[in-house]
Structure 1
Amino acid sequence: MSADIVFSDATRLAELIRTRQVSPVEVVQAHLDRIAAVDPKVNAIVTIAEGALSAAKEAEAAIMAGRELGPLHGVPFTAKDSIDTAGVMTQRGSPIFKGRVPDTDATSVARMKKAGGILLAKTNLPEFSYWIESDNLLSGRSNNPWDLDRTPGGSSGGESAAIAAGMSPLGLGTDLAISIRGPAAQTGIVSLKATHGRVPMTGIWPRAPRRFWHVGPMARSIRDLALAFSQLAGPDGLDAFATSAVPFDAGVGTVPDRKLKVGWMVGPGFGPIDTEVAATVKAAAEALKNEGHHVEEVHIPALERDFALDVFNKLHVMEMKPAFREATAGHEDQMYTMAKTMLSLPDTSMEDYIAAEQAAERLRDGYATYFRDYDVLLTPVLPVPAHKHGITELVVNGETVDLTYLQGATVPLNVTGLPGLSMRFGTSREGMPINVQLVGRWQAETTILHAAAVLEGVSTVRGRHPSI
């Protein structure tokens, strides 16, 4: 039963617990045992929450007493180590914050607990959440459970690896440019970066530049994303960006009462895309078409005029550097590669900064124009499947580009604040997962979750797990 538990999704676990087929203690212990068995190879877990088993016993007592149960009652979850957890270390991937224990939970963690979830562990990340591989001086490098010589991504790489390897059924990650959707693609799980502001960033560091940061769920099924998002969404009165009162209820929402209009594209505007990745996007488009939806290849001129990665870089560096300088002052000898690199970057000129702001507005307008006519945009998540550790360049279809080009198809959604979902729909020749990205109009998370559920229902790769 233990193997069934660790590769069940959270919705199934909640059902088994609610119907007393398994106990919360059994579920939590199974995941702790799984961590002990495989994490020495993967290195996804930073800290085990000492109160997890006690919380599981309390959850079991609540069931036996017939109390009202939340939708995630007794289900363990993990959280990236940049997200505050009361009484459990949150060290942000840096020796500068070694041993730091917050007094209060981040809003996202508090809401998971209110739904009945049990915090199991904290997961690895790059220093300060700022890189596309999860490695740091404090807790080392995380490995991809599909191939330990490859990265599980960043900055939510520990979270993606933990879920893919059966150490956690559900987790919380954060996303500045790629960090929820990219790691999900590199490990073959699912994730949701909702519309900016739908889930408060309260209790998460760094918050600068907060207008690009998101927090969201990572899981093994689309229904788990919907369930978790239904608990996470909504203002908390503390994060001024989290003001949307648009409701979200898992399984109910604003799905059009007609077939969806879907456009798909692999460029231009994202940088070079590997042929296997492009073929997977096209296969997902064909699958939606076969299910009766209206599907066609499209292009978005705004993405061709303004390369979103360049726009993002000119904007976020200027806004991030003051927070980094403050955090590292007097601790320069404890900085790792990315903090040093980011602080060494030249400041953007005021002229270039203003030009980038105007480009960001054009990108938003370009997507708005697209979504007048379509419900969903289907794109790659990454230009290539998970790559080897430690590389600095990518060779894609014979073209050599900087590793930051991994973000080419994801960063437009951070610049514009649009929602995006990452899900597996293919496999590379080398056996690595390939995900696709579903994009919706602002506040239309239900629509992309619905489209993703359709794809999940016809997927030939659903339910595959690494054999680690």
Structure 2
Amino acid sequence: MTNELVYSDATKLAELVRTKEVSPVEIMQAHLDRIEAVNPNVNAIVTIADGALEAARRAEAIVLAGDDLGPLHGVPFTAKDSIDTAGVLTQRGSPIFMDRLPDEDATSVARMKKAGGILLAKTNLPEFSYWIESDNLLSGRSNNPWDLERTPGGSSGGESAAIAAGMSPIGLGTDLAISVRGPAAQTGITSMKATHGRVPMTGIWPRAPRRFWHVGPMARSVRDIALAFSQLGGPDGKDAFASSTTLFDAGIGRQPFRQLRVGWMVGPGFGPVDPEVAATVKAAAEALKDVGVSVEHVGIPALERDFALDVFNRLHVMEMKPAFEEATAGRGEDELYMMAKTMLSLPDTSMKDYIDAEQAAERIRDGYADCFSHYDALITHVLPIPAHKHGVEEFVIDGQTVDATYLQGATVPLNIAGLPGVAMRFGTSREGLPINVQIVGAWQAESTILHVASLLESISPVRGLHPKL
């Protein structure tokens, strides 16, 4: 029963609680036991929430009393360690913030609790949430449960590893350029970066550059992502970007008899892509044809004109660097890890380059707008390669040598444009590693991409696979 519980999705666990087939205490204990068994090797969990088991007992009493239950009642959840949790350590992957104990929950955490979720633990991340591997001086390196010699990604890599390994059914990550979708792809789970501002960033650090940061759900099923999003979205009166009161777009519901139209692409415009990954994207597109979706290969000329990763780098360094300087002021070199030192050493972007990058960002947004005037959704790769070995700084991808930042080639355009994207598994590499695809939608079109993701999940050749730990 324990294995069944730790690999059940959050929706199923909530149903088991609601029908009194399993108690919240049993579910919580199963996950605590799983953490004890596998976390020493994976190092995804950095802090167990004090009182998690007691909270499960209170949740059980509410069930037995016959009170109204939230949609996630009695379900454990985890949160990346950059997201504030009242009374539970939030140390941001840095000795600078060691022993930091927030007084309040981040809005996203508070909303998960309001839905009945129980905070189980905090998960590992890179220093300051800022790299494609989850490693830092405070809590060390997280490993991929599919292959411990490989990374689960960053910056929400601890979260992705915890969920993939059965230590958590659902959780919260953050995304500046790749960080909920990339780790999901490296561990074969599902995640969503919603439209910018849909989910408030209140209680999450760093906030700069705010216009690129997102918080999003990570889980093992599309329905869990949809359920979490339905609870997380909406304004909180604190994050000015979070202003939309509409959680779900009408999607194709406005024209119920129109055929769904989906485009697919792996480039040009994203950088080089491994043929195995490109083949998985094409396979996902072809599979949608079999369920009645109109599918075409497409291109976005704006992405070919302005390489989004270059645009992002010119914009965010100028905006992010002051936050790093403020946080590290007066601190010794021994308290700083790789990315803090790298960010502080980068030259400032000239005003001309910054303005040019802003104009390029507008062209990218316009390019996506044009695409979505013809298509309901777009399927791309998430990462150009499957999960890589720890510490690799340079890759040869389809015959082209690139640095590690190129892993963000297909994800960072959505942060620039603010558009929603779902990452989900649809393939397996020759080495047995997960390969995910990314379903991209127009502004606030989460319902549409969740619908497409649900269709793909129903016909996925890899549904229900878990790492053997």
* Short-chain TM bin: over 0.9
- After superposition, where does 1:142-221 map in structure 2 within 5 Å? 142-221=142-221
One-letter code aligned to 1:388:
K
Provide the residue aligned with 1:261 in structure 2: 261
Provide the residue aligned with 1:230 in structure 2: 230
Q: Is the 8 A contact 1:233 1:248 kept in 2?
A: no
One-letter code aligned to 1:385:
P
Q: Is the 8 A contact 2:248 2:444 kept in 1?
A: no
One-letter code aligned to 2:462:
V
Provide the residue aligned with 2:55 in structure 1: 55
Indicate the percent of aligned positions where both proteins have the same amino acid. Answer: 79
Q: Establish whether residue 275 from structure 1 lines up as the match of residue 271 from structure 2.
A: no
- After superposition, where does 1:39-438 map in structure 2 within 5 Å? 39-248=39-248, 255=253, 257=256, 258-333=258-333, 334-438=335-439
In structure 2, how many angstroms separate the alpha carbons of the residues matched to 1:240 and 1:268?
35
One-letter code aligned to 2:380:
T
Give the paired residue count. 466
One-letter code aligned to 1:212:
F
In structure 2, how many angstroms separate the alpha carbons of the residues matched to 1:421 and 1:38?
27
In structure 1, how many angstroms separate the alpha carbons of the residues matched to 2:224 and 2:204?
22
- How far does residue 123 in structure 1 lie from its aligned partner after superposition? 0.1
Provide the residue aligned with 1:461 in structure 2: 462
- How far does residue 330 in structure 1 lie from its aligned partner after superposition? 1.1
Residues 187-211 of structure 1, C-alpha deviations (whole Å, 9 max, x = no match) = 0000000000000000000000010
- How far does residue 394 in structure 1 lie from its aligned partner after superposition? 1.0
Q: Is the 8 A contact 1:197 1:214 kept in 2?
A: yes
- How far does residue 106 in structure 1 lie from its aligned partner after superposition? 0.1
Q: Is the 8 A contact 2:164 2:188 kept in 1?
A: yes
Moved more, 137-146 or 395-404: 395-404
Residues 6-46 of structure 1, C-alpha deviations (whole Å, 9 max, x = no match) = 00000000000000000000000000000000000000001
- How far does residue 175 in structure 1 lie from its aligned partner after superposition? 0.1
- How far does residue 259 in structure 1 lie from its aligned partner after superposition? 2.4
Residues 339-363 of structure 1, C-alpha deviations (whole Å, 9 max, x = no match) = 0001100100000000000000000
Residues 416-442 of structure 1, C-alpha deviations (whole Å, 9 max, x = no match) = 000000000000000000000000000
- After superposition, where does 1:1-12 map in structure 2 within 5 Å? 1-12=1-12
Find the residue that maps to 2:320 and give its secondary structure.
helix
- How far does residue 253 in structure 1 lie from its aligned partner after superposition? 6.3
Question: Gaps (5+ residues) in structure 2?
Answer: none
In structure 2, how many angstroms separate the alpha carbons of the residues matched to 1:412 and 1:346?
23
In structure 2, how many angstroms separate the alpha carbons of the residues matched to 1:3 and 1:290?
34
- How far does residue 248 in structure 1 lie from its aligned partner after superposition? 3.0
TM-score of the two chains, using structure 2 as the length reference: 0.98
One-letter code aligned to 1:344:
S
- How far does residue 332 in structure 1 lie from its aligned partner after superposition? 3.1
- How far does residue 398 in structure 1 lie from its aligned partner after superposition? 1.6
One-letter code aligned to 2:358:
E
In structure 2, how many angstroms separate the alpha carbons of the residues matched to 1:233 and 1:254?
21
Q: Is the 8 A contact 1:95 1:137 kept in 2?
A: yes
One-letter code aligned to 1:121:
A
- How far does residue 331 in structure 1 lie from its aligned partner after superposition? 1.2
- How far does residue 50 in structure 1 lie from its aligned partner after superposition? 1.2
Runs of 4+ in structure 1 displaced over 4 angstroms?
Answer: 252-256
Find the residue that maps to 1:202 and give its secondary structure.
coil
In structure 1, how many angstroms separate the alpha carbons of the residues matched to 2:248 and 2:86?
27
Residues 65-111 of structure 1, C-alpha deviations (whole Å, 9 max, x = no match) = 11110000000000000000000000000000000000000000000
Find the residue that maps to 1:412 and give its secondary structure.
helix
One-letter code aligned to 1:283:
A
In structure 2, how many angstroms separate the alpha carbons of the residues matched to 1:369 and 1:254?
18
In structure 1, how many angstroms separate the alpha carbons of the residues matched to 2:173 and 2:208?
16
- How far does residue 254 in structure 1 lie from its aligned partner after superposition? 5.5
Residues 197-227 of structure 1, C-alpha deviations (whole Å, 9 max, x = no match) = 0000000000000100000000000000000
